[in-house]
Structure 1
């Protein structure tokens, strides 16, 4: 068996970025599991930043952007018809991001200014990567740059969000930190996923299932992005002006209901049912279904809030359906596909990955249920984080091993 070497990570951008992302993901999962266990055992904890906010920050802005780098700097040059990007050229920026997160992690526990300094390094590294990708989009002469331009714009928004979070930590402003986290989810992370879903899901389905075509009108993408803009605005409004008037809550529920039905209808139109016999394709579609479910849960939650004067809701269930369900499952499937296809292996999900995917689905269901069942909340949350750790550790070990070894087909990359 080939030896694992760090130099092999520098053979392609996805190798380096995905490895660092997997390392960040596995570490974050273990950290959060340990923190929840300590809280369940009633151990005294007094971090510099409240644990739920640390969780939201690390799980949101921690590993996901690193996965974006691997995807955008691998697929992006092909979409833009530009020369391939070398992993060595993105190493300094990625090293800055990782150094920043290491410093921020310690600071979030013990010293806010250290956390702010670390977050500043993260923002600097990510801004460098985002501007470079924006320059690639600008220099490209291809006629269709819609998806790459939108993904680039979302990444630049992400850079702004990271600088916002840095300032929030400098001034110890919890409302600003909460606002930055919500903006990061709805206006940075989710738009990148939606843009990629709109481009890749119909394409993957049509290339494998003969009865389907690559139907993806631009108006669908506009509606999807407008939906995320709306949800972000509502989330920020909830932080600053809660409770909102019942009439506004009914309006939210009234808008979210047809949007949820549209997303679930898109899942069917793009071949969700037909994909169930093809594991890797089913994994991608299964992630997209969670987008519709998250919007449906939001509609129900806002309806309950409208009827109860904001005293009854589904809590964090819609948010976890969005983050763990749509973002998490789509990330799992997309990175699996790139790691196999660009790693010289068959583009498929073997028994290990297929099993881990279903454990991931179980983790999402457990966490969403925990938010809605207050009596069982702690038990279900611990079960969800345990399942999440199993999935992410197993997944990170599998592909982390691949990224540090040569391709089995002997080709470069």
Structure 2
């Protein structure tokens, strides 16, 4: 009896060399390793704080966490996807994975150096120097990958290059923000790092996600999703650009706060209306579509929560703290990441393109982690620590389980016997 494609051939051994057989294998494996490592690092930091242990920090924990979660693993996931799907979008010759190895390793080594610098002991100058060197390595690595992708754009004669151009533009913003973060840390202006990381979450990560999703809608089933016209790219570009600029400039006048709160509320309602259209008129029975749908719901809720939070702040009341940010990052970006990478990994490993039971359980554990993190942001500070630790532990478990599951696939031959 032939082996089932979902399971692969018995006796096959995982080999690191296979990561160089396709760009998605290399990029996704590096990103997942960094994702799991950073999630476990943060879970341990939260547990240590809960137990009253004081770790050495050369940056505030929030700043270090924000940088790593916004500019750490995301560019590597993007690289794995773009150098797999990009050549097909652009009808040009794909690059071998080996051509991406140096900039990928530069980012991994850079973040390792950054983490060492954060906990480098009582010498803040040493920590700042090591940390800035680490961010320079990361910025150099992502800039190198972006230059290679821009080369595909330059070589393409395809008439429709809009999605690739927007993604490249978002990537350029990400590179600029990374270089700016390295300069800010080197010059002792660490207070700017949070604004840079939050700007990247919208203008770099968010815009890349929504553009790729817009392009990939037909591949998830044209009968189950709204037509691309329901997702006007200009509107998304304006929304995510506005959010990125707001995070970077952080204006504080009440008039601007009320204006921005109104825009966010309107945008959130529009996104939720689109999500409702899906639920009412289209089938969401396929699990991958449910994952995408709930990710979109989280985006709408994040915008509404942020608008409400800014309205409360403008009115002199207590804001919602970090609840809107985590609804966006863990809820929207996290849900879409699991769905998109799961789909690409399944299809390119010769398996059925479905969310199987393992991915489905991990997805719902992620939703629980999001709810715990939002609860921690909304309760009194004295009661937040246990919720923070629980959310961090659950997030770490999801990331580790997801990495172990798909990491095995990336080091095995295709289950259907076809070449990569």
Which range is displaced more, 7-16 or 98-107? 98-107
Residue 109 of structure 1 deviates from its aligned partner by: 1.9
Residue 245 of structure 1 deviates from its aligned partner by: 2.7
C-alpha separation between the residues in 1 aligned to 2:280 and 2:104? 36
Residue 208 of structure 1 deviates from its aligned partner by: 5.0
Matched, 1:396 2:403: yes
Residue 119 of structure 1 deviates from its aligned partner by: 0.9
User: Compared with structure 1, are the counterparts of its residues 271 and 89 closer, same or farther at alpha carbon in structure 2 (3 Å cutoff)?
Assistant: farther
Residue 213 of structure 1 deviates from its aligned partner by: 5.3
The equivalent of 2:207 in structure 1 is 191
Question: Mind listing any 5+ residue stretches in structure 2 that lack a counterpart?
Answer: 1-10, 121-126
| Structural mapping, 1:101-116, within 5 Å | 101-110=111-120, 111-116=127-132
3-state SS of 1:37 partner: helix
Residue 272 of structure 1 deviates from its aligned partner by: 7.6
The equivalent of 2:37 in structure 1 is 27
- CA deviation vs aligned residue, 1:87-120 (integer Å, no higher than 9, x gap): 1111111111112111121112212101111111
The equivalent of 1:236 in structure 2 is 248
Does the Cα contact within 8 Å between 1:344 and 1:411 map onto a contact in 2? yes
Does the Cα contact within 8 Å between 2:302 and 2:327 map onto a contact in 1? yes
| Structural mapping, 1:331-410, within 5 Å | 331-374=337-380, 375-410=382-417
Matched, 1:156 2:139: no
C-alpha separation between the residues in 2 aligned to 1:95 and 1:275? 42
Does the Cα contact within 8 Å between 1:199 and 1:216 map onto a contact in 2? no
| Structural mapping, 1:163-178, within 5 Å | 163-178=179-194
Residue 32 of structure 1 deviates from its aligned partner by: 0.2
Residue 377 of structure 1 deviates from its aligned partner by: 1.6
3-state SS of 2:419 partner: coil
- CA deviation vs aligned residue, 1:342-361 (integer Å, no higher than 9, x gap): 11000011111101100001
Residue 271 of structure 1 deviates from its aligned partner by: 5.6
TM-score, scaled to structure 1: 0.94
C-alpha separation between the residues in 1 aligned to 2:325 and 2:283? 26
Does the Cα contact within 8 Å between 1:272 and 1:286 map onto a contact in 2? no
Residue 394 of structure 1 deviates from its aligned partner by: 0.7
Matched, 1:291 2:302: no
- CA deviation vs aligned residue, 1:184-207 (integer Å, no higher than 9, x gap): 212211111121122223x24543
The equivalent of 1:317 in structure 2 is 323
Residue 126 of structure 1 deviates from its aligned partner by: 0.6
Does the Cα contact within 8 Å between 2:223 and 2:282 map onto a contact in 1? no
Matched, 1:326 2:332: yes
TM-score, scaled to structure 2: 0.92
User: Compared with structure 1, are the counterparts of its residues 233 and 283 closer, same or farther at alpha carbon in structure 2 (3 Å cutoff)?
Assistant: same
3-state SS of 2:330 partner: helix
Matched, 1:74 2:81: no
For these two proteins, the number of residue pairs brought into alignment is: 403
Residue 261 of structure 1 deviates from its aligned partner by: 1.2
- CA deviation vs aligned residue, 1:329-386 (integer Å, no higher than 9, x gap): 1011100000001110000111111011000011111111211112532122111111
3-state SS of 2:229 partner: coil
C-alpha separation between the residues in 1 aligned to 2:327 and 2:165? 27
Does the Cα contact within 8 Å between 2:70 and 2:198 map onto a contact in 1? no
**RMSD of equivalent CA atoms:** 1.7
C-alpha separation between the residues in 2 aligned to 1:302 and 1:143? 42
User: Compared with structure 1, are the counterparts of its residues 213 and 373 closer, same or farther at alpha carbon in structure 2 (3 Å cutoff)?
Assistant: closer
